Amino acid sequence: MPISDKLLSMLVCPTCRKSLAYDIDKTFLICDNCRVKYDVIDDIPVLLADDARKLDD
Ligand SMILES: [Zn+2]
């Protein structure tokens, strides 16, 4: 089950504390501010700054 909109609205980027958005396939959460993405594993977002990956990769 995907993360609900309500939960998603409470999630913030661990680096900049801004809100996150799903990518189109709902496999990542994206921070537009930092230009990074976070994995979503088994519907649990991995919001660790160390695990952030650059969007441009
Ligand atoms: Zn950020």
Give the model confidence (pLDDT) of 1-54 as tens digits. Answer: 677 888 888 999 999 999 999 988 888 999 999 999 999 998 889 999 999 999
pLDDT over threshold 80, residue 55: yes
User: Ligand 1 centroid vs 13 CA: distance in angstroms?
Assistant: 5
User: Ligand 1 centroid vs 30 CA: distance in angstroms?
Assistant: 8
Taking the C-alpha atoms of residue 43 and residue 35, their distance in angstroms, rounded to an integer, is 21
Taking the C-alpha atoms of residue 51 and residue 56, their distance in angstroms, rounded to an integer, is 15
- pTM assigned to the model: 0.84
User: DSSP string of 16-39?
Assistant: T--B-EE-TTSSEEEETTTTEEEE
User: Ligand 1 centroid vs 1 CA: distance in angstroms?
Assistant: 25
User: Ligand 1 centroid vs 31 CA: distance in angstroms?
Assistant: 5
- Report residue 50: phi and psi, to 5°: -65, -25
The band of 57, judged by pLDDT with boundaries at 50, 70 and 90, is low
pLDDT of residue 13: 97
Domain range summary for the chain, segments of one domain joined by +: 5-54
| 56 vs 46, more confident | 46
For the domain made up of 5-54, give the CATH fold: N-terminal domain of TfIIb (2.20.25)
User: Ligand 1 centroid vs 56 CA: distance in angstroms?
Assistant: 15
